[in-house]
Structure 1
Amino acid sequence: MSETIHHFLYGEDHLTAGIALKIAQGKIQGIISEASRKKIKTSRQTVLNIVDKGDPVYGINTGFGPLCTTKISKEKTNILQSNILQSHSVGVGDPIDSEIAKLMMILKVQSLSKGYSGIAEETLDRILWHIDNDAIPVVPSQGSVGASGDLAPLSHLFLPLLGLGKVVYNNKTITTAELFKETGIKPIDLGPKEGLALINGTQFIAAHAVQVVAKLHSCLSQADIIGAMMIEGLQGSVKPFFEELHQLRPFKGNIHVASRIKSLLKGSEIMEDHIDCERVQDPYSLRCMPQVHGASRNAWLHLKELLEVELNSVTDNPIIINEELTISGGSFHGQPLAMAIDYACLAASELGNISDRRIYLSLEGNSPGVPKLLMSDTGINSGYMILQYTTAALASENKGLCFPSSADSIPTSLGQEDHVSMGSIGGRKALRVIDNLEKILAIELLTAAQAFEFRKPLKSGIILDEIHKKVRETVSFADKDRVFAEDIEKGIEIIKNRTIINTANQIAKKEQVSIETQFSDEFEVY
Structure 2
Amino acid sequence: MPLVSTDTGGTRVALDGRGLDLPGLVLLADAVAAPFVPPEALDRAHRAWDTMARLAAHGRLYGRGTGVGANRSVPVEAGDETEHGLRLLRSHAGGAGPLLPARQVRAMLAVRANQLLAGGSGIHPSLITALTEALRRGVHPAVQTYGGVGTGDLTALAQTGLTLIGERPWLAAATDTARAPDVDRGPTRPAAGTDAAPAGLPAPVTLRAGDALALLSSNALALGQAALAGHAVAVLLRATHAVAALSLAAVAGSPEAYAAPLHALRPYPGPARAAAEVRRLLELPDRPVTAGRRIQDPYGFRVFPQVHGAALEACDALRRIVEVEINTPTENPVLAADGHAYHHGGFFAAPLGLALDGLNLALLQTAQLSAARLSALGRADLTGLTDFLATGPAGSSGTMILEYTANSALAELRSCAAPASAGHAVLSHGLEEAAGFAGQAARQTRRAADAYATVLACELVAAVRALRLHRAAPPVPALALAAAVLPPDTEDRPLTGDITTATDLLPLLAEL
When normalised by structure 1's length, the TM-score is: 0.88
Aligned equivalents of 2:126, 2:412: Cα separation in 1: 46
Tell me how far 1:216 sits from its aligned partner: 1.4
Tell me how far 1:370 sits from its aligned partner: 1.8
Count of residues in Structure 1 that have an aligned counterpart in Structure 2: 491
Aligned equivalents of 2:479, 2:2: Cα separation in 1: 30
> Which position in structure 2 is the counterpart of 1:140?
144
Aligned equivalents of 1:417, 1:189: Cα separation in 2: 31
Aligned equivalents of 1:45, 1:323: Cα separation in 2: 14
Q: Alignment partner for residue 174 of structure 2, among 166, 171, 175?
A: 171
Aligned equivalents of 1:294, 1:258: Cα separation in 2: 8
Alignment check: 8 A CA contact 1:213 1:300 kept: yes
> Which position in structure 2 is the counterpart of 1:20?
25
Tell me how far 1:379 sits from its aligned partner: 4.0
Tell me how far 1:471 sits from its aligned partner: 2.2
Aligned equivalents of 1:194, 1:440: Cα separation in 2: 47
1:472 aligns with 2:483: yes
Q: Alignment partner for residue 46 of structure 1, among 51, 54, 65?
A: 51
Alignment check: 8 A CA contact 2:133 2:202 kept: no
When normalised by structure 2's length, the TM-score is: 0.90
1:320 aligns with 2:320: no
Secondary structure of the corresponding residue to residue 331 of structure 1? coil
Map 1:254-269 onto structure 2 (within 5 A): 254-266=271-283
Alignment check: 8 A CA contact 1:16 1:308 kept: yes
> Which position in structure 2 is the counterpart of 1:159?
162
The residue identity in structure 1 corresponding to 2:155 is A
Aligned equivalents of 2:403, 2:100: Cα separation in 1: 31
Aligned equivalents of 1:38, 1:190: Cα separation in 2: 19
Shift in alpha-carbon separation, 1:69–1:4, aligned structure 2, 3 A = closer
Question: Runs of 5+ in structure 1 lacking a partner?
Answer: 505-526
Shift in alpha-carbon separation, 1:314–1:369, aligned structure 2, 3 A = same
1:88 aligns with 2:112: no
Aligned equivalents of 1:378, 1:387: Cα separation in 2: 19
Shift in alpha-carbon separation, 1:334–1:140, aligned structure 2, 3 A = same
Alignment check: 8 A CA contact 1:266 1:461 kept: no
Secondary structure of the corresponding residue to residue 94 of structure 1? strand
Alignment check: 8 A CA contact 1:8 1:31 kept: yes
Identity %: 23
Map 1:65-76 onto structure 2 (within 5 A): 65-76=69-80
Tell me how far 1:321 sits from its aligned partner: 3.8
Q: Alignment partner for residue 201 of structure 1, among 212, 215, 218?
A: 218
The residue identity in structure 1 corresponding to 2:481 is K
Shift in alpha-carbon separation, 1:84–1:300, aligned structure 2, 3 A = same
Superposed CA offset, 1:104-143 (max 9, x none): 1111111101112111121111111111111022211112
> Which position in structure 2 is the counterpart of 1:124?
128
The residue identity in structure 2 corresponding to 1:163 is G
Aligned equivalents of 1:266, 1:51: Cα separation in 2: 65
Superposed CA offset, 1:204-256 (max 9, x none): 22112211321111111111110000011111111111111111111111111
Aligned equivalents of 2:240, 2:338: Cα separation in 1: 54
Alignment check: 8 A CA contact 1:223 1:351 kept: no
Secondary structure of the corresponding residue to residue 171 of structure 1? helix
Tell me how far 1:278 sits from its aligned partner: 4.7
Map 1:93-492 onto structure 2 (within 5 A): 93-147=97-151, 149-169=152-172, 171-173=174-176, 177=189, 182-183=199-200, 186-266=203-283, 275=291, 278-321=293-336, 325-379=340-394, 381-456=396-471, 458-463=472-477, 467-492=478-503
Deviates more, 1:473-482 or 1:417-426: 473-482
Alignment check: 8 A CA contact 1:95 1:141 kept: yes
Shift in alpha-carbon separation, 1:499–1:45, aligned structure 2, 3 A = same
Tell me how far 1:10 sits from its aligned partner: 2.3
CA RMSD in angstroms, aligned pairs only: 2.4
